[in-house]
């Protein structure tokens, strides 16, 4: 595809790349809850996820003694197995939404110099 970007075509072309490095840290939690709902997860399950994200407390141990609890900002604990799963669900929703957009609007196809067009391609590497 990138070899054809320099060829003149009617209507122009666009290629975009999303840098999703550390994207989970910047994920909008309300978006995540809506995505879970759209994928058919129960309200009870979504509330469990909300509680895991929004009501997280930590304790610091100094010289073998616990020094109280403090509330974290929103987010899951590092190494939590939910983190990659929730991110993949959100990324899958983004990919499906882009696929729907390109499928329903033929003018958004990537055009080649020969007049043909490629449908939208999605490559996600995590």
pLDDT one digit per residue (tens) for the chain, 126 residues: 455 555 565 555 566 666 776 666 677 888 899 999 999 999 999 999 888 888 777 778 888 888 877 777 666 666 778 888 888 888 888 888 877 877 777 666 555 555 555 555 555 554
Q: Where are the domains of the chain?
A: 22-107
Cβ atoms of residues 33 and 48 within 8 Å: no
Helix (H), strand (E) at residue 71: strand 65-71
Closest CA to 6 of 118, 113, 122: 113
Residue 36's alpha-carbon distances to 6, 30, 66, 82, in angstroms, are 40, 10, 36, 13
Can you list the alpha helix ranges (DSSP code H) found in the chain? 29-38, 43-54, 82-104
Q: Which two tokens stand for residue 64?
A: 């073998």
């Amino acid at each position: 595809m990138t070899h054809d970007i320099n060829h003149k075509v009617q209507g122009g072309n666009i290629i975009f790349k999303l840098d999703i490095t550390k994207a989970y840290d910047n994920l909008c939690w309300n978006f995540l809850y809506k995505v879970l709902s759209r994928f058919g997860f129960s309200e009870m399950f979504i509330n469990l996820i909300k509680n895991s994200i929004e009501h997280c407390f930590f304790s610091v141990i100094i010289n073998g003694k616990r020094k109280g609890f403090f509330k974290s900002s929103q987010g899951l604990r590092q190494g939590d197995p939910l983190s990659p799963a929730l991110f993949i669900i959100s990324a899958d929703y983004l990919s499906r939404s882009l696929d729907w957009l390109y499928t329903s609007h033929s003018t958004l196809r990537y055009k080649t110099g020969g007049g043909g067009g490629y449908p939208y391609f999605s490559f996600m590497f995590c």
